[in-house]
Amino acid sequence: MPSTDPRFPNLRVFDHALIQHKLSLLRDVSTQPEDFRALLNEIAGLMVFELSRNFPTRPRSVKTPLETCDGCMLSQPVTLAPILRAGLGMTDGILRLFPEARIGHIGIQRDERSHMPVNYYTRFPKDVANGPVLVVDPMLATGGSAVHAIDHLKRLGCRDLQMVCLVAAPEGVKKLLERHPDVPVFAAALDRELDENAYIRPGLGDAGDRIFGTVGA
């Protein structure tokens, strides 16, 4: 089970040994993009496996080769909402668990001077509000992009929302708690702080650059 922090009742941190092992490899500056992508997807899948334990289900009768038995199925569609571009790096790992999940997209970039989110693209299923929605982004730094994405999804009628990230800063978790206290935040680590450039410390660098091999571009 994920651990909690008394400062942030909205936060759940996965301290599972395997997740922490893979996160340490992910942080390593020498980890190459292909390995970074693989680790990111593996951690995302492990996290979502745990947080999906309470997804709503419905009964279903199943005919086995020997007899009929009672089973169950997910009763509502699951939608992934990766925040572009880095959020895309986590979707394959989640889709291995939920290949039937829909994928919406929300493109948000941070203004490097103001650190405020700027929305440049959105597209979601028309019935996105009919089931759980996982907002996905490797980094929860200032919380601006996450709040912006959740604001948009709530305007679409979504109420079953969860934030899934790899590394979170206290500042970002606090902002989500203030703006969206009903949305749980699931992370693999709560890091120390944001620096003067709004980068998470110790963090793992720019996740988008490390996923797509654009470091220094």
More confident residue, 128 or 211: 128
Whole-Å CA distances, 189 to 48, 136, 150, 177:
15, 15, 21, 17
Q: Hey, what are 36's tokens?
A: 């970074």
Give me the pLDDT at residue 115, please.
Answer: 63
Contacts 24+ apart (CB under 8 A), 102-108: 102/77, 102/78, 102/128, 103/79, 104/79, 104/80, 104/128, 104/133, 105/81, 106/81, 106/82, 106/149, 106/152, 107/83, 108/83, 108/84, 108/145, 108/148, 108/149
Instruction: Please name each of the domains of the chain with its CATH number.
Output: 12-212 (3.40.50.2020)
What is the number of alpha carbons within 13 Å of residue 82 lying toward its C-beta? 20
Per-residue model confidence as pLDDT tens digits over 151-173: 999 999 999 999 999 999 999 99
Three-class SS of 154-169 = HHCCCCCEEEECCEEC
Q: How confident is the model at residue 207 (pLDDT cuts 50, 70, 90)?
A: confident
Mean pLDDT score, 140-152: 92
Task: Report whether pLDDT(61) > 60.
Answer: yes
The pLDDT tens digits for 75-84 are 999 999 999 8
Look-up of token digits 């745990």: 50
Q: Give Cα separations from 101 to 5, 44, 92, 131, 133 (angstroms).
A: 30, 15, 11, 10, 10
pLDDT at 73 over 70: yes
- Amino acid (one-letter) located at 78: V
What SS3 state is found at 185? strand
Q: Six-digit token pair at 91?
A: 């979707």
Please report the pLDDT score of residue 110 as a whole number: 66
* Position 215 pLDDT exceeds 80: no
Segment 14-32 shows an average pLDDT of: 94
Comparison of pLDDT for 57 and 217, the residue scoring more: 57
Q: What does the pLDDT average to over 119-142?
A: 92
Whether the pTM exceeds 0.85: the reply is yes
For position 54, what pLDDT does the model report? 85
